[in-house]
Amino acid sequence: DCQEDHGGGHGHGGNGDCADDCQEDHGGGHGHGGNGDCADDCQEDHGGGGHGQGHAHGHDKTSRHDNEIGSFSIVRQAHEVEPLAFARWIRIIATLPEEQGKLYRSKGVLAAAGRSAKLIFHAVADVTETSDGPDWGEHEQRCCKIVFIGKKLDRKAIEARFLPLLQPFVEKLRPPLRAASPSFSRGMKLDMLAQRGVLHHALLGLWTKDVVRVSQCSAGLRDAVFSPDALPLFQTAASGLPIGAARGLQTREGQMWLHALLPMNSIKKYVLAWRGAKVQLATKCTGEYMWGEPLRFDSYGDVEAAGVMWLELQEITDDSTVNFVTEFTWRPETMQSFFAESGSATNSALVKLTVDDPADENNEDELRFRVNLNPEENPDSSGMKMHRMSLQLVGGKTSTYVYQIFFHTIDPTYQVHINVPDHRQPIFPTKEVFHQWHPVMAGLKARPRLRFLLRLKSSDSGPLDAMCGCCG
């Protein structure tokens, strides 16, 4: 029941987690629970058993701890975070600016909007991890608890980025549904259809916007579609799809089919971020898709990586930059041969982008690209197969403008960022070198494509703003 400011030091029992209703400011120092975790520059001798359960130590002038190390926590009852916005925040906290301090560790247990499971968050320096914990109990109050430990932490700046993520938990419009009766004598009712997953199975085949329209017909339907129980039921229905079938789609015409991967409120966040990012979908045209194939999502990680990218783009205000999402693809047999033959190289299919001239509506530049993976000898690689990525830029010398281009991969397992200052260079060798077990290579084995965000800006319009420190 602690709600006080502890000043110089504090301690918690067990693994150091706060009590459920703890709202303390942990001031200038920190304490260690039974697991004896320390900040990186801690030089205290904790002995064989570490600190005792709930033991705290303050810091005085003679302590070997840096007296600028501190911690603070944020606790909000009956609040939750939107999962996509929280994933975007994780990237921010992992690259905390130097002037906002050095984060040694952060951990939290949070309620995620539209999800029945607790969201577990843990960060050590710039390495972050999230996972699903146990479900919230039927009578357990949903809440968000997170603690930050570091050196010279700017609490106001960190809170200014985190607190807007919090939103009040919205109760169901109706009381919790009673257990469905096994008797069918009085016919199936809506609550029975929802609890048995029959309703969600029927709704799975609709575009997501049509599912929203169905939910507006009654309070019961709204609860069945928007409650934290809905996503597991949609996922169970999707498990019956054929092996290899997509779990989510986004078409060039703007249709979304995402309710087997995201809670409904997160889909709203995704759609608004996509619109705000002003991205053009530039996928290849086929006989089935005349205007371009839809973006395909096979997992929650796929759609989260895309959603976080759109949220990042929203934060960049530059009307002179043009954003495209495209995919560099290979034929499956080509990729099989590439991995089977030692020392082989491979080139993706050609991708074509059309950039409108803002000064002349009758003029446009056609840019074409492909990705190359070429073998490379590296004496430090201990015999591992290595491949360097390069970009082939076709027809650049015939364009009206000279373009700066940033290439950003959109994938949950890796990030590749490439800055091309002049698109007229026919072959642009990148700094990206991958061994055969790198996530990029593993991803190509599973599905022969690389999904990229391309940000283009003519050199006449000034410098192209970077989305991350490594692209500047």
Tell me, letter by letter, the H, E, C secondary structure of 96-128: CCHHHCEEEEEEEEEEECCCCEEEEEEEECCEE
Q: How far apart are CA 343 and CA 326, in angstroms?
A: 28
More confident residue, 2 or 140: 140
Cβ distance 87 to 304 under 8 Å? yes
For residue 191, name the pLDDT band (cuts at 50, 70, 90). confident
More confident residue, 383 or 5: 383
- Range 124-134 average pLDDT: 91
Any idea which residue has 């950003």 for tokens? 408
What's the confidence (pLDDT) of residue 19?
Answer: 41
For residue 58, name the pLDDT band (cuts at 50, 70, 90). very low
The listed range with the strongest mean pLDDT (87-101, 158-172, 180-194, 320-334) is: 320-334
Sheet with 143-151, strands from edge to edge, namely 69-77, 143-151, 102-111, 117-124, 127-135
Assess whether pLDDT exceeds 70 at residue 66: no
Cβ distance 428 to 420 under 8 Å? yes
- Range 406-422 average pLDDT: 94
User: Treating both helix axes as pointing N-terminal to C-terminal, what angle do 300-314 and 83-94 enclose, rounded to 10 degrees?
Assistant: 70
Helix, strand, or coil here: 73? strand
- Range 397-417 average pLDDT: 92
What's the confidence (pLDDT) of residue 381?
Answer: 62
What's the confidence (pLDDT) of residue 184?
Answer: 46
Any idea which residue has 């995620």 for tokens? 112
Assess whether pLDDT exceeds 90 at residue 192: no
Other C-beta atoms lying within 10 Å of the C-beta of residue 144: 25
Question: What single DSSP character describes residue 396?
Answer: G
What's the confidence (pLDDT) of residue 4?
Answer: 37
Which residues, listed in sequence order, are joined to residue 128 by a DSSP beta bridge?
A: 123
Q: Among 35-39, 62-66, 225-229, 313-317, where is mean pLDDT lowest?
A: 35-39
For residue 377, name the pLDDT band (cuts at 50, 70, 90). confident
- Single out the residue of 109, 111, 120, 150 nearest to residue 26, CA to CA: 150
pLDDT digits (tens, 9 = 90+) for 226-236: 999 999 999 99
Q: How far apart are CA 126 and CA 219, in angstroms?
A: 44
Q: How far apart are CA 42 and CA 264, in angstroms?
A: 44
pLDDT digits (tens, 9 = 90+) for 91-118: 899 888 899 999 999 999 999 999 999 9
What's the confidence (pLDDT) of residue 28?
Answer: 40
- Token pair, residue 246, equals 């997509």
What's the confidence (pLDDT) of residue 20?
Answer: 42
Q: Among 54-58, 81-85, 291-295, where is mean pLDDT lowest?
A: 54-58
What's the confidence (pLDDT) of residue 175?
Answer: 59
- Range 164-193 average pLDDT: 66
What's the confidence (pLDDT) of residue 49?
Answer: 39
Q: Among 209-213, 227-231, 330-334, 348-352, where is mean pLDDT lowest?
A: 227-231
Q: How far apart are CA 237 and CA 380, in angstroms?
A: 49
Taking phi over 0 as left and psi of -120 to 50 as alpha, with beta for the rest, 244 belongs to left
Q: What is the pTM of this model?
A: 0.80
What's the confidence (pLDDT) of residue 318?
Answer: 84
What's the confidence (pLDDT) of residue 197?
Answer: 83
Assess whether pLDDT exceeds 80 at residue 270: yes
Any idea which residue has 């705000």 for tokens? 276
Assess whether pLDDT exceeds 90 at residue 21: no
Residue-averaged pLDDT of the chain: 83
pLDDT digits (tens, 9 = 90+) for 432-454: 999 989 999 999 999 999 999 99
